[in-house]
Structure 1
């Protein structure tokens, strides 16, 4: 269980003291927040000619992050997973609501939790501030954080999963498999090597991408939260197409290569591990250089969209890899114990 009071210095924080902390450190930074945190509801004024993008994620201690994750990392990841969804829609994040349920809260834990949220806002490659405009607090037996993120995108321009077309390239940002390897390394974190520490950091503080760069370049997008095969499968199903990807083309970090040197094991983590929060996109192949520049991060082509439905994985020799050799295709909250 995350230690919220007993092993942390400082007094127990009461509900409205937490609201005051959030207001002081994460609110009232945007002119289009007409009424923000502290009232019965927020009043927001989206930019003219823009659509509003909304997403919600809930994180539960012991299921979405290890029980002994630091308050800073809990705060960072709670925001990052939502900001990644906004990016996958091609939108710029603008507002957040944060609901926090816990047995009790210490001021020190809450300060560090807010530090993590602030760090995630700073790490998000957007040109405008992100405001917290509301939320809720309640007492419960297990630490639970629910965040809703609201973003803006030019009217009619939002990315979605249903735009992939046969012949287009499939690409991913950054590297894959680090977070899954980081979770594997978690029990050894007190004595972890530099490479293991880098992987653990990717688990707790995923990189964030600027989704607005996708507009006019990519044809479909999704963030990789549940594992590449599962999330790419959502694009293929929504678009009514299939694909072939090459496992040896999946990009990996030097840290992952050091900690997981065996290619087959590494590719299993990359294909099914999840928690990377990179973007998977489809696009005309000739759009890759411009999109990579706009994103400001590596963009690696890993396969091609095809007319024939289904997802096929090939090894380095061009042989089809049976899906069951890669493990479960991705996370399913109600399909796994």
Structure 2
């Protein structure tokens, strides 16, 4: 063994043996183990449009700036209700075809936000389309590149009934007499983004992040309902469209500051819009509802934030009022 460093056959053989052992331990065994992974009961397989959108997501190399992994650290609870697990990737890890392996969607950079739960944070079709056409329309400070090749500028006389018009404000369109139409690729990509919703864990609804901090529970006077932070909920669910200062985006999303609906003494219309969404085309884009996403307390907290901010001054909404309207809305849907 004294001449180990001089025996080239022994050196190469040892290096090759080490490479094979490490490859088996680090790559092959985990690869076989992950094949046994099963989807969570609440997960749904991708539709044809969502699967096409996944492939466009990979083609555009969105993974270079966005992650899809909620790490088991407390700062990541912004991106999901729990840390990610292998089952979350069951459908996205399927091979693209015989020759190509499934794409790696985890990512390693967060130049942009994590997209694990973006389908819940941003459920609206119009928001995503505006964001792809020019991110600065909805996020003024965004450094994300635009994707104009996913859209087409058409003269109004040439627009077909099947075309999906995107409510882009006029100042963001180079031509004064044309409108923006989303291509099928753009629609498929948005379908995929809307499908990204973190599935609930069965039998373990309260998975904590590590390290876990003590929650600062809000206090209330006797007889008052304890509500979540309305400003935080608004920023997470509404500000991207209606802006942090409630000013909205002309031609895309209405302003909330000074809105007659927000300041109405009867909050029913406001609560129903938050629950059911609203279609104000062609003046504004379509808003998706939060009926299945937000609780009565969360809707009340958002409504109260809107009714007491940016110069608005209206009576507070209670969770009981939201509950009554939710029951009424469900009765209409039956």
TM-score by length of 1: 0.31
Which structure: greater strand fraction?
Answer: 1
Q: Which one has the largest radius of gyration?
A: 2
TM-score by length of 2: 0.32
Bigger relative CO (Cα 8 Å, ≥ 6 apart): 1
